[in-house]
Amino acid sequence: MRDTEKNIQELIIKAKEVSLQAYAPYSNFRVGAALLTASGKIYTGCNVEFSDYLALHAELNAIGAAVKNGERNFDSILIYSYCSPPVLPCGSCRQKLFEFSQLNKKDIKIIVVNDKGEKSKYLLSELLPSGNIPVEK
């Protein structure tokens, strides 16, 4: 699926909607992610915090939703936040996306947006130029 403005707007809407479901009682830092697969389906995830300060990030929850539905070929992920500049995926989330980019031998587009309309686009390879390469079996 192409990275059109219409597709990006749909991803923004879905990521913003799911960000409102975030469970962030400790930080009030809400994040939503919308993951676009090669089949054109969109899977969403929000962050979930716990009192031990470990959290499930929105990107990871979106990846999990896609994988549980048999999707492993990702085109792009949009991350919606309420901070300026818009939040980028952490190193751990970048590595998880990298594994799927290696599986499919293609870069993944990363789009970050905030509630003020600030938006930036990257390729995963720009944010993680040399991730840990999965071991082949």
Summarize the annotated binding site as residue ranges.
47-53, 90, 93
Q: Which residues make up each annotated binding site for substrate?
A: 47-53
In angstroms, rounded to a whole number, what is the distance separating the alpha carbons of residues 69 and 72?
9
H or E element at residue 43? strand 42-46
Question: Hey, how many other C-beta atoms are within 10 angstroms of the C-beta on 52?
Answer: 6
State the Rg of the chain over Cα.
Answer: 14
Q: Which residues make up each annotated binding site for Zn(2+)?
A: 90, 93
Marked catalytic residue, from 10, 17, 59, 126: 59
17 is catalytic: no
Burial class (CB in 10 A: 0-12, 13-18, 19+), 91: exposed
Indicate which residues carry an active-site annotation.
Answer: 59
